[in-house]
Amino acid sequence: MPEPSPSVLLTRHGLSEHNLETHVYMGRSPGSRLVAEGRVQAQALGAYLARSAPVSRIVASSLPRTLETADLIAAALGRVPIEADDAFWELSKGSWEGTMPRDGVPEPERTLWETRPFDFRFPAGESFARVVERVAPAFERWAGLYPRERLLFVLHGDVVCALLYHLLRFPPEQIRRHLVTPCSLTELTRENGAWRLLRFSDDGFLDLGRGAGERKGQPPGA
């Protein structure tokens, strides 16, 4: 019987400046950095991984808040390698970033976003379908390069959801239901060529308030 592959871990970056702006869509916000609470979250995640689930390599979105998170985790793990990849940038909200109030979305955009979120494209930005197109091959490339290593992917909330859709293929209309808290862990393993979810948005080890209005979502496919 073939030896099972190590599990893959996904996390969202720690609480950042853009997470504090909950009344508008922030999207990529490439200048956003971690706030003090976010750095504490990343350090706590690193300490937890060092105790219970050491990883041998970190792959991160190349935006500052994800790289900051990855660096703090790596320090707790003894400086494991960090690989930065632009393919894992957050979903672009286009012209809505930093300007469109969440409660001010006009019709028919609001109806489309609520009923067909996978296909909805932000003005001058992206759709979830487009994010899947760019993150899926990037994930498969990294997983293929290191098939016997436990990898940690440090990503963004919408990117975690897009990647889970690629790996688990839950109904696309559910993609917005799976809300990922900062520095929580989602873990998957591959068995007989298929990915299986072991845990989703687990942040109990942080013992910290979620902050910024975050709430925990249901596991994909639930």
| Contact residues for 129 (Cβ-Cβ < 8 A; gap 6+) | 118, 119, 172
Question: Across residues 4-29, what is the average pLDDT?
Answer: 89
pLDDT tens for 61-112 read 999 999 999 999 999 999 899 999 999 999 999 999 988 989 999 999 999 9
Averaged pLDDT, 153-180: 94
Peptide bond into 172 cis (omega under 30): no
Dist. CA 158–CA 133, nearest whole Å = 13
pLDDT at 131 over 80: yes
Assess whether pLDDT exceeds 50 at residue 210.
Answer: no
What is residue 217's predicted lDDT score, i.e. its pLDDT?
52
pLDDT of residue 183 exceeding 50, the answer is yes
Task: Note the pLDDT of residue 219.
Answer: 66
All domains of the chain, ordered by start, with CATH?
A: 8-202 (3.40.50.1240)
pLDDT, average across residues 5-29? 90
Q: What is the pLDDT of residue 221?
A: 61
What does the pLDDT read at residue 6? 77
Residues 6+ apart with CB under 8 A from 10: 152, 153, 155, 160, 163, 164, 185, 186, 187, 188
Q: How far apart are CA 115 and CA 118, in angstroms?
A: 9
148, 159, 181, 207 from 156: Cα distances, Å: 25, 5, 10, 21
